[in-house]
Chains A and B, each alone.
Chain A
Amino acid sequence: LPICPNGSVNCQLSLGELFERAVKLSHYIHLLSTEIFNEFDERYAQGRDFIARAVNGCHTASLTTPEDKEQAQQTHHEDLLNLILGVLRSWNDPLIHLASEVQRIKEAPDTILWKAVEIEEKNKRLLEGIQKIIGRFHSGEIGNEVYSQWEGLPSLQLADEDSRLFAFYTLLHCFRRDSNKIDSYLRLLKCRLIHNNNC
């Protein structure tokens, strides 16, 4: 029986339930991001040394986020949630274009195509979920969090194949990283706020 059956009024998921769903979703998104990255890497990146060129290539690098456990643990939960929201929002636009542009990659397997579409959709869902969680902490305006603009669409449409594939590689590499970051922060927050740091 769904916790909030349709039509029920004033029925609110508990914060614990919201976090449970957010962690499940972020876990799934990271799993997809790892699979799509590995599949792309195996099929299109072997021997091209893209990783060496991908260093400093993430559009979200400008967002200052905790880089280790201590930093994350010392970050107030509202700040961490806003950071998560900022990273998620930074990926809205690129994931939309990834899902459409990936169709144009030569002999792109269906598994890469549907994962790109699935990731875009799930990332939007997670963003909505995080907004709900933030809303539980303060009723203030949501949406003024810092996020990073992506200007990479032209590089996904380059005529030169190597450059175009490198652009896709960088995007998938950066998304895998950021989805792992979001997943790690959400688990920390869930254990901190819901399980009193005793997961």
Chain B
Amino acid sequence: PPEKPTIIKCRSPEKETFTCWWKPGSDGGHPTNYTLLYSKEGEQQIYECPDYRTAGPNSCYFDKKHTSFWTIYNITVRATNEMGSNVSDPRYVDVTYIVQPDPPVNVTLELKKPINRKTYLVLTWSPPPLADIRSGWLTLEYELRLKPEEGEEWETVFVGQQTQYKMFSLNPGKKYIIQIHCKADHYGLWSEWSPEYYIEIPTDFRVRDM
């Protein structure tokens, strides 16, 4: 029979839906079919995956209608072919704690040169589009990191829930790389980092200005 599959990850990008992925075991060259089965805390019934397609191969997508919070899903995947079948170890999931948002978007960098005051860099960004911040259902906190283009060490700054940050301590003539990521505040996983954004600090930007 086929080797038992492994459930490798479950993730909710916006605390409204979630997806689980599995890795097949070896199938001995026999065409093998995979079935994801789950039960929910407080219920005896066993359900099958509602949607094997939306999230691509070896995955199961749970839309809003099939997603409940503060309840444990007991999830297994069964591999079946002509030689027999085998079931994965169970994965216990509370969707509340698998929230991993998409990275922030619309990142802008702008150098500000106010008269008689220090010059500074203003970063602004927006929450990932899927995240419903307005209703209060999801609250995100952000962290940014930067380093000189040729540098090795990232400097990381936790900025809480704000979507703007001012930076004063940049060196004239240097080019910097900046990225931002986010997570549901105090639970879940950090998103991937945003793409890298570059900013070059002009050389006429005298140290005294800083």
Q: Let me know if B137 and A187 touch, CB within 8 A.
A: yes
Please, what's the 1-or-0 string for A181-192, where 1 marks a CB less than 8 Å from any CB in chain B?
A: 100100111111
Look across to chain B and name the residue whose beta carbon is closest to the beta carbon of A181: B70
A41-84 at interface with B (beta carbon < 8 Å) = 51-52, 54-56, 61, 65, 67-70, 72-73
Please, what's the 1-or-0 string for B114-152, where 1 marks a CB less than 8 Å from any CB in chain A?
A: 000000000000000000111111010000000000000
Q: Within the assembled complex, what's the spacing in Å between the Cα atoms of A68 and B96?
A: 10
Q: A92 at interface (Cβ–Cβ under 8 A)?
A: no
Q: Let me know if A68 and B67 touch, CB within 8 A.
A: yes
Q: Within the assembled complex, what's the spacing in Å between the Cα atoms of A56 and B72?
A: 9
Q: Let me know if B94 and A177 touch, CB within 8 A.
A: yes
Q: Within the assembled complex, what's the spacing in Å between the Cα atoms of A68 and B67?
A: 7
Q: B58 at interface (Cβ–Cβ under 8 A)?
A: no
Q: Within the assembled complex, what's the spacing in Å between the Cα atoms of A157 and B139?
A: 39
Q: Which one of B64, B92, B134 contacts A191 once the chains associate, using CB atoms below 8 Å?
A: B134
Q: Let me know if A199 and B134 touch, CB within 8 A.
A: yes
Q: Please name all residues of chain B whose beta carbon is closer than 8 Å to the beta carbon of A69 when the two chains form the complex.
A: 15-16, 64, 132, 135, 137
Q: Please name all residues of chain A whose beta carbon is closer than 8 Å to the beta carbon of B67 when the two chains form the complex.
A: 68
Please, what's the 1-or-0 string for A99-118, where 1 marks a CB less than 8 Å from any CB in chain B?
A: 00000000000000000000
Please, what's the 1-or-0 string for B65-107, where 1 marks a CB less than 8 Å from any CB in chain A?
A: 0011111101000000000000000101010100000000000
Q: Let me know if B96 and A188 touch, CB within 8 A.
A: no
Q: Which one of B15, B96, B185 contacts A27 once the chains associate, using CB atoms below 8 Å?
A: B185
Q: Let me know if B133 and A55 touch, CB within 8 A.
A: no
Q: State the interface size on chain B (CB cutoff 8 A).
A: 26
The winner among A27, A31, A177, A197 for most chain B CB atoms within 10 A is A177
Look across to chain B and name the residue whose beta carbon is closest to the beta carbon of A178: B70
Look across to chain B and name the residue whose beta carbon is closest to the beta carbon of A198: B134
How many A-B contacts at CB < 8 Å in the complex?
73
Q: B41 at interface (Cβ–Cβ under 8 A)?
A: yes
Contacts A52-B92, A177-B94 given: A187-B136 contact, CB under 8 Å? yes
Q: B187 at interface (Cβ–Cβ under 8 A)?
A: yes
Q: Which one of B70, B71, B92, B136 contacts A192 once the chains associate, using CB atoms below 8 Å?
A: B136
Q: Let me know if A188 and B136 touch, CB within 8 A.
A: yes
Q: Let me know if A188 and B135 touch, CB within 8 A.
A: yes
Q: Within the assembled complex, what's the spacing in Å between the Cα atoms of A34 and B183?
A: 15
Q: B31 at interface (Cβ–Cβ under 8 A)?
A: no
Q: Let me know if A180 and B137 touch, CB within 8 A.
A: no
A/B interface sample: 26 pairs, CB < 8 A = A27-B186, A30-B187, A34-B186, A52-B90, A54-B72, A55-B72, A56-B41, A61-B41, A61-B42, A65-B70, A67-B69, A67-B70, A68-B67, A69-B15, A69-B132, A70-B64, A73-B135, A177-B96, A178-B70, A180-B70, A181-B70, A187-B137, A189-B136, A191-B135, A197-B134, A199-B135
Give A contacts to B, CB under 8 Å: 27, 30-31, 34, 51-52, 54-56, 61, 65, 67-70, 72-73, 177-178, 180-181, 184, 187-192, 195, 197-199
Additional A-B contact list (16), CB under 8 Å, known A52-B90, A56-B41, A184-B137? A30-B187, A52-B92, A55-B41, A68-B64, A68-B68, A68-B69, A69-B15, A69-B135, A177-B70, A178-B70, A180-B96, A187-B139, A188-B135, A189-B136, A192-B136, A199-B136
